[in-house]
Chains A and B, each alone.
Chain A
Amino acid sequence: MLVNAPSMEELVEALRCLPGVGKRSAERMALHLLSAPAEEAQRLSEAITTARARIRTCSICCDLTEADPCAVCSSGRRDRGVICVVERPAGTIAIERGGGFQGLYHVLHGALNPLEGAGPDELTVNRLMARVDKGDVREVIVATNATAEGEATALYLSRQLGTKGVAVSRIAHGVPMGGGLEYADDATLSHALEGRVRL
């Protein structure tokens, strides 16, 4: 019986720090790791340690990478005149998966969020400005999230970049491709309508 087992409690607490993991799933995961063969838990713990040791932020785009500069920043086939700004590393993964984008990225590691103490200095805004100041950049595409914080960040960046002679654009948020309008939720639809483009 696992009552009064501090190491188990510690494991559950550690797992609960992961996004989307509540108390119950943390307990399920912990019990699984403790009752599966020891190698399985060992493999997970080593994978975490190794990945943590090897992965760092790219000195150019601030995305997570094993090699610095990252594969995108060091590729000769990308358009160096276009930078797409995202909040989190997950954003670059999503856009790469979509294919079609040939420019470079910049990862802010968050959005402006006074309630969480995040201002420009907590984000990688200065690094972005420095990249633009070097002069190769024609266009910055701001792909921050469609939240109040993401929108405020987009506006802040467009104002800061406005004086630097680059085009600044905001990605459109709207109805998923191949999905009928009836499958889009109301907020997405009203957002899509407000961001409509002339044909």
Chain B
Amino acid sequence: MHLTSLTAEGFRCLEPLTFEPAPGVNILRGDNAQGKTSVLEAVLFLVTARSHRTNTERELVQRDAESFRIRGAFQRSDRPLQMEVNWWRNTKRFKVNGVTQDRVSDILGKVNVVFFAPEDVALIRGAGSLRRRFLDMELSQLSSRYLHALQRYRESLRQRNELLRGDKMDDSLLDVWDAQLAQHGAVLVEERGRFVQELNEHARQAHACIAGGEAMTAVYAPNVSPETGLEAALRKARQGDIKRGATNRGPHRDDFELVLEDRPARNYASQGQQRTAALALKLAEVALIEARTGEYPLLMLDDVLSELDAKRSRRLLEAVPPGVQCILTTTENDGGTPAFEAADAQFVIDGGCLARR
């Protein structure tokens, strides 16, 4: 899968944009606040309906404008694909091959992307909620079964919590919400377990490649093990849940841990090791998506090179499988770094204007 052409109007600080990346490695160079990240963000919003920088979509519109439009032409191995989003005063409409999509969830998985930004190092050292969000984002793109179970689980969780806090609570009512949570939660736990296991196999390789042999393992840590069963765990925790007015057990408290050479990366790894671990995780996703869908995702690396030394930069680029389209942004001017040697196309962005070099 690769992006052949992207156009954007009214998006962030970008001048009307036409971006035609090459199938291989693309470098997008520019000083800070010139619009590099906004180009990646436009691609991300087009294919996932989300931004990595904000949940307030109004921030995505150019100042003094009320709407933006992004269009992308993609080439899958079997056929071309056109995506389009029109945003107007907080409503957005997606089209795939010219056909309006009824629900935003229908566009997920049409084009897979893997995105890495410097702040993604929080995936290693940050709160469990960040790793859950990672699992949810990735699995929602890969599995409609997962997406459906996740939506049902979240609705049922809100309903159960409301019931716990309200004055209409009784055991027979809690029972049915427990059963709903157990049914959909079991799907989440099963899919997450399988995903982390697959991710693990690929992450081990990617990490060994970038870090030069150091071993990394990802371990899924479900809040309630399948052997215990969520329905039993909820029943056991019920009195405490009632007291606190919240549901304390279940997949909404899941986590996974990254272990570097037998020690949890979260507590023991250095900054550099954590960054490498996060990158390895993202590269593992690239391989996992290819294994599951038969199609490589688009890989976008925002401002990664500045944080890596020349040796790690070279290894990172070597770890990207050939055939993956990759878009890297950098502030660096230096044409001598390994990334520039490997680039198939270079672009410069200045004041929201993009030009090919």
Interface residues of A (CB under 8 A from B): 112-115, 117, 119-121, 147-149, 151-153, 155-156, 159-160, 185-187, 189-191
Contacts and interface: CB of A to CB of B under 8 A. Distances in A.
B235 interface: no
B242 interface: no
Contacts of B163: 114
14 contacts: A112-B173, A115-B158, A151-B180, A152-B159, A152-B177, A155-B180, A159-B176, A185-B102, A186-B106, A186-B148, A187-B105, A187-B147, A189-B144, A190-B144
Interface residues of B, number: 25
A115 B148 contact: no
Contacts of A185: 102-103, 106
Contact of B148 (A112, A119, A190): A190
Given A112-B176, A156-B173, 6 more contacts: A112-B173, A117-B166, A119-B168, A148-B155, A190-B144, A190-B145
Contacts of A155: 176, 179-180
A142 to B, nearest CB: 12
Contacts of A156: 172-173, 176
Given A185-B103, A186-B147, A148 B162 contact: no
A191 B180 CA distance: 14
- Give the dominant DSSP class at B's interface: helix
Contacts of B106: 185-186
A112 B180 CA distance: 13
A190 B42 CA distance: 30
Nearest to A122: B168
B175 interface: yes
Contacts of B147: 186-187
A148 B185 CA distance: 13
Leading 10 A-B pairs by shortest Cβ distance: A186-B144, A148-B155, A114-B162, A114-B163, A119-B168, A155-B176, A156-B176, A190-B145, A152-B176, A187-B148
Nearest to A152: B176
Interface of B: 102-103, 105-106, 144-145, 147-148, 152, 155-156, 158-160, 162-163, 166, 168, 172-173, 175-177, 179-180
Nearest to B180: A152
Contacts of B103: 185
B166 A114 contact: yes
B243 to A, nearest CB: 18
Contact of A119 (B102, B145, B173, B179): B173
Given A185-B106, A190-B145, A159 B172 contact: yes
Contacts of A119: 168, 173
Residue in A114, A156, A186 whose Cβ sees the most chain B Cβ within 10 Å: A114
A115 B173 CA distance: 13
A114 B168 contact: yes
A187 B103 CA distance: 11
B148 A148 contact: no
A82 B52 CA distance: 53
Contact of B159 (A115, A186, A189, A191): A115
B30 to A, nearest CB: 38
A114 B166 CA distance: 8
Nearest to A154: B176
A155 to B, nearest CB: 5
Nearest to B155: A148
A119 B168 CA distance: 7
A40 B102 CA distance: 34
A129 to B, nearest CB: 13
A8 B163 CA distance: 40
Nearest to A119: B168
B22 to A, nearest CB: 33
Contacts of B152: 148, 151
Contacts of B148: 186-187, 190-191
